[in-house]
A and B are shown apart, each in its own frame.
Chain A
Amino acid sequence: MSDSTSNKPASKGRRRFLIDSARTACGVGLLGLGIGIYSKSASSMAPMAIRPPGALDEADFLASCTRCGLCVRDCPYNILKLADVGDDVPTGTPYFMARTDPCEMCEDIPCIPVCPTGALDHALTNINDARMGLAVVVDQETCIAFLGLRCEVCFNVCPIRGDAITLDYRHNERSGKHALFIPIVHSDACTGCGLCERACILDEAAIKIFPMHLAKGELGKHYRLGWEKKNEAGESLVTPDQEHRYNLPEGMRYDHTGEGLIFDQANAPAMTTPDAAMQETPFSSNPLDTLKKGIQEAD
């Protein structure tokens, strides 16, 4: 045991070192854990905060944005802000709020080339290709177009008017004689600039910009739209349908390519008018007769 006594000072020092290291590692580790957990909640963006044009998807953006504010400085309309600590946007990162300060869609996109890291993608040179978010008509109950009133403000302020937002004319069931001018947003053209949201005349906008992942649905990867595939191939990709053989009275044909039922008038001189043809069908013109017939037969 004489060895252990002679080693005592050294082992004391080593013990001290190990304990101090463990203490530091423990404290720093706990802090790291805290930051990590905080980052989880701090990284969840408020849905109303929109990234500048060309922003990478959120995970890559948070890995590459140095929070320097150069995009903020070079925005000629001063719409961009850097998030403060405790905001619903990760600290220091740039965003804008469409309702108050939408993106004016500058043609030269000055906020992008100053970004030193490419967190705003330098490859984006045409502002119409930007996808900051997507405008969504969120409330059909308050949007006055759905109430049958003329508004179309969102349609008219849209910088890609007629492509990103179009008007769909529908019958006004309430009045019975007017049209509804319904705004429809098209994701293939909408940049998410937010000019429509700012312009919306309601107290709370009925059209809002949402980040893409909130605004869009996504079709299952296994879906193939038959009609599109058919167009691409130029023909049906499955065995053609068996042509249905109708048991039609003489002088009538069925066209499978879209015409439907055809009265071959040349071959059927007796049926000169559609009225006459109707009388030739086995069905009554009054659907009630068919129902009554069923009841009578049951009796």
Chain B
Amino acid sequence: MARYTVLGAEAIRKKGWWQAHKWLILRRISQIGILLLFMLGPWAGIWILKGNLSSSLLFDVVPMTDPFVFLQMLATGYGAIASEAVTGALIILAFYLLFGGRLFCSWVCPVNLVTDASFWLRRRLDIRTGANFLRNTKYWMLGMVLLVSAVSGTMVYELINPVSILHRGILFGMGVGWLVIAGIFLFDVFVAKRGWCTHLCPMGAFYGLLGKVSPIRVRADDRSKCDDCAECFVVCPEPQIIPAILKGEKKGIPPVILSGECTNCGRCIDICGKEVFHFGLRFDQSKAALSKQEKNAALLKQKL
């Protein structure tokens, strides 16, 4: 057991500051950059992205529609959806299926900036108490959202969806909406650790379902180097998914995080001084497996 003393100190000492913050910085650039691309239009008349995360146009040509919003639309029973929304939803769906469902949560969603700030403050204030939610509460929320849409015949959740409220509010202006965002911030600080994104947000649940099958994953191929410092466990927004993979060598669990809950934020990669983690594909890439594959291929050739 080598518990850390200062979070991230070892990683900075061994890898340098940049390597210890690379994915965090890239993630912030992505989150803020997407907002800026949307803002360039109204600010400077340069229309790269127009609209907001619910639906948008890339270069005034490529339609994009959030598949979660699209799913709510389907749930309302509205039948005459124009083709742009269908195409747009398929484009976004394909993107997140490929790059990781909850990539949306950590690389795109503006609420992540708010809840990460909450998490930071929570740690600074050393608040350890809070409400407990079942891990799967957000999936219940997803079911509830679709049910309420179906019963009412309108996209009810979009009345209060903090993700669309914040993104729309930043781009189009808002007043009272900021109270909702402040509420999320305070909720995450005082009521529940990682309360909104990890436990409640139905949008995260939807993208989590997509993430179950996406090929780009965090891998822990060098898990034997782990010295149990638990820093990854502290920074991970979904820490429950780490131990089984990190300690599962004897049980034959593959060294790759396959859970849909993983947001591909890469913070574990940054924080680990032993360089246990890296981004890779979900398929087994260990040397043994690769040589096995080669053998199989050779056998196949011989047979042919």
Contacts and interface: CB of A to CB of B under 8 A. Distances in A.
B140 A24 contact: yes
Contact of B82 (A36, A42, A117): A117
B159 A35 contact: yes
Contacts of A81: 172
Nearest to B147: A32
Interface string B76-107: 11101110110010000000000000000000
B256 interface: no
Given A69-B52, A70-B56, A36 B73 contact: no
A24 B80 contact: no
Interface in B141-172: 141, 143-145, 147-148, 151-160, 164-165, 168-169, 171-172
B18 to A, nearest CB: 37
24 contacts: A20-B134, A21-B134, A24-B134, A24-B136, A24-B137, A32-B147, A35-B160, A63-B78, A66-B65, A66-B66, A67-B52, A67-B54, A67-B164, A68-B51, A68-B54, A70-B51, A73-B51, A86-B176, A90-B154, A91-B158, A91-B165, A92-B158, A118-B85, A122-B82
Contacts, number: 150
Contacts of B55: 66, 68, 70, 116-117
Contact of A115 (B82, B151, B155): B82
Contacts of B88: 116
Given A29-B144, A118-B82, 14 more contacts: A31-B144, A35-B156, A36-B156, A38-B160, A67-B54, A68-B55, A81-B172, A91-B160, A92-B159, A116-B55, A116-B85, A116-B88, A117-B84, A122-B82
Contacts of A21: 134
Interface residues of B, number: 59
Interface in B42-80: 42, 47, 50-52, 54-57, 63, 65-66, 69-70, 73, 76-78, 80
B133 interface: yes
Contacts of B78: 60, 63-64
A63 B155 contact: yes
A85 interface: yes
Contact of B168 (A25, A92, A114): A92
